[in-house]
Amino acid sequence: MISQAANKTMKKTFEKCKWEELTILFGLERLEDSQMALEALVNTEIELTEYQTHELKRLNKLIIKHFLDWNEDELKMQFISPLLHIVNYHDSEKYQPFSQRSMQMHQEEKEIELSGVVEWLLASGKQIPREPFFFLHEYKKEQGTDSDPLGQVLAAMLTAQHLNKDKNRVLYGCYIMGKDWYFMALDGKQYQSTLAYNVTEYDKLVKVFSILTHLKDLV
């Protein structure tokens, strides 16, 4: 749990954050039913090119074969990175992909400080991420962990919401547990996440690819 000494700021790193703690501390509401913010992200379909179809089928075979034995770096380098390469987030002047970037926020009225390293994010800026928009965190283990990937991504999104000039901007996120991808939306004080997209199923991998591609439009 997050503890606080008398008259001292609570300090928590992203990796230690739990979604329920953050919900209480920041007065959030976790939505169960599908809402417009998340629907805008996931309700999309695209027509694949021949190249995209070939590469997605190749990646699908890889994840089926290796999702139980890859460690986190192997999952990132051999599946996630190639998938993001196919999406191609380098074709816009409005945003750039960034990796392993530190973020920190201090909310004086609540005396809370959150800090950590974001695995991967889309943000405006060339060399320095300025206005973050989308966060991605990967975690290899299927089960048996005390970590809370949803809490980690939510902490990064709350930090970005606090730092961004546009406080009303909807922020999106994704956390990955082995073969399963979960997408999130944070809209003001409300947040929600999808059920798992199991990318060992080819149609679910295509759906994930469609969502990641649609992010370029939402930016």
Give the DSSP per-residue string, 85-115: HHH-S-S-SS-EEEEEEEEEEEETTTTEEEE
Pick the CATH number of 30-218 from 1.10.10, 2.60.40, 3.90.1570, 3.40.50: 3.90.1570
**Most confident region among 71-75, 145-149, 176-180, 198-202 by mean pLDDT:** 198-202
pLDDT, tens only, 149-191: 999 999 999 999 998 888 788 999 999 999 999 999 999 999 9
Name the pTM for this structure: 0.91
Report whether 185 contacts 172 (CB < 8 A).
yes
Tell me what the pLDDT averaged over the chain comes to: 90
pLDDT band at 5 (very low <50, low <70, confident <90, very high): very low
End-to-end, the C-alpha distance of the chain in Å comes to 35
The b-or-e profile of 158-182 (16+ CB within 10 A means b, else e) is bbbbbebeeeeebbbbbbbbbbbbb
Residue 145's pLDDT is 57
Q: How confident is the model at residue 92 (pLDDT cuts 50, 70, 90)?
A: confident
What average pLDDT does the segment 13-18 reach? 93
pLDDT, tens digit (0-9, with 9 covering 90-100), for 104-154: 999 877 789 999 999 999 999 888 898 999 999 987 665 555 679 999 999
- What amino acid is encoded at 160 in this protein? A
